Amino acid sequence: MDNISIVLNKCVGCKSCEQICPRQCIVMETNHEGFWYPIVDNDKCVKCHLCLKACPVMHPENHRNEPQSAWALRNKNDFEIMKSASGGASDLAAKVILNQDGIVYGAAYDDFLAVRHIEITQNSEREKLQSSKYVQSDTASCYSKAKKRLAEGRVVLFTGTPCQIAGLYSYLGKEDPNLYTIDLICHGVPSPKFFQKYLEYQSRKIGEQIISYNFRSKDKRGWGTQFLFKTQHKSKTNTLSLDRYGKHFIQGDCYRESCYQCIYANLKRTGDLTIGDFWGVFNSHPDFFSSKGVSCVFINTLKGQVLFEMIKDFAYTEKITLEESLIKQGNLRQPSRRPSNRDEFYSHIDECEYMDQLYVGLQLKERVKAAIPVRIIHLLKRLEKIIQL
């Protein structure tokens, strides 16, 4: 076959092919699990191969760079960092780009809490991109918008999962001095359909429509994995692993097929910077730890170095070793394991009782941990550290 149909389940759903096709004969359709895949109208296809050229799966070595240095980072501004998932590195990058009249692309919720990439031009919009949305984000038409902005001579920052950044570079087909990119450490994405089913389930249970959702709320227990959702009159917060959606996200039985064979789950990064949670900070740099969150940042390219220098003025930073950053980061070594129940996970998704049938289980360790006040946990960690010494 002479078009994108050959990519099959290696497809990461970046939508680059859909946006590049000069005949508009590619449509992204969701399969029964709710993940996007390209469908080609072969009658209209002129076999120009542009879709294959723009597909990141066909060019796995495109824009891959090994980290030159690694840093612990946290935003100095307490108000801003509390809205970010980890130390707010990505938000600071957005801030410095917007401050020079640049354009930023990243994942945001729409009015129905579907997650899609949007373009922002004002600092007041940064909040929309802050915090992790643990579901596949729809890149929509953001690659073509970014291309247009670059052609206008604007500075652009594009943030996303490593495959989305790879998709952008394949779509553009060439380097642009005004383009900065950030890829996130990524262990996989559940389908938007699963997230919508979950929101409907929770809304039904609580008796009101959910109007906001945060996978990484720091309100109650600080930096960690607590979700918080709100309806008009109520709110609910808990540990992700004790939640029907969160548990399966962490367990990894609901990811897109490409995530289990992810070619980006290693130290050859697609972005100028790579950002993740610096989970190992308590062990290697206890004095840098903050319950407000700490990011781990890799500088992968010269442009990444330039962007990092701009961010540094607004942040506390400390150089770390690559080994330290790898602690609790399995996805920098290998893709998430495909659990045996992945085959069945989505098979009943269209049934009314689907969400009710997903069990959280006893999860004793997690429940005990969730019941202990955070300051006691931090105290215990410090004691453990002293004993180790």
Ligand X SMILES: Cc1cc2nc3c(=O)[nH]c(=O)nc-3n(C[C@H](O)[C@H](O)[C@H](O)COP(=O)(O)OP(=O)(O)OC[C@H]3O[C@@H](n4cnc5c(N)ncnc54)[C@H](O)[C@@H]3O)c2cc1C
Is 39 among the residues that bind ligand SF4 (CB under 6 A)?
no
In the list ligand X, ligand SF4, none, the entry touching 264 (Cβ below 5 to 8 angstroms by class) is ligand SF4
107 lies in the binding site for ligand X (CB under 6 A): yes
Give residues with Cβ within 8 angstroms of 223, minimum separation 6: 86, 277, 290, 291, 292, 293, 294
* Residue whose CB is less far from ligand X, 327 or 360: 327
Task: Tell which positions 16-75 bind ligand X, by CB under 6 A.
Answer: none
Helix (H, G, I), strand (E, B) or coil at 148: helix
* Residue 378 buriedness (CB in 10 A; 0-12 / 13-18 / 19+): middle
CB of 113 to ligand SF4, least distance (A): 19
Return the residue of 13, 56, 67, 87 that touches ligand X, per CB under 6 A: 87
DSSP letters for 31-68: -TTS-EEEEE-TTT-----HHHHT-GGG-TTTT-B--S
Among 163, 275, 307, 315, binds ligand X (CB under 6 A): 275
State yes or no: residue 276 binds ligand X (CB under 6 A).
yes
| H or E element in which residue 126 lies | helix 126-129
The SS3 assignment for 242 reads helix
Judged by beta carbon, residue 20 or residue 184, the one nearer ligand X is 184
| Amino acid making up residue 51 | C
CB of 69: closest distance to ligand SF4 in angstroms?
Answer: 22
Residue with tokens 């922002």: 120
Q: Which of residues 45-84 bind ligand SF4 (CB under 6 A)?
A: 45-51, 54-57
Cβ proximity to ligand SF4, 217 vs 270, nearer residue: 270
* 13 near ligand SF4 (CB under 6 A): yes
Verify binding: residue 130, ligand SF4, rule CB under 6 A: no
To the nearest whole angstrom, how small is the minimum distance from the Cβ of residue 135 to ligand X? 6
Closest Cα partner for 135 from 90, 83, 199, 76? Answer: 199
16 binds ligand SF4 (CB under 6 A): yes
Side-chain-side CA neighbours of 279 within 13 Å: the count stands at: 9
Residue 13 near residue 258, CB atoms below 8 Å: yes
Q: How many angstroms separate the first and last alpha carbons of the chain?
A: 62
Residues making contact with ligand SF4 (CB under 6 A): 2-4, 7, 11-17, 21, 23, 25-26, 38, 40, 45-51, 54-57, 161-163, 167, 186, 188-189, 256, 258-259, 262, 264
Residues making contact with ligand X (CB under 6 A): 84-91, 106-107, 115, 129-135, 137, 159-161, 184-187, 189, 275-277, 295, 329, 331
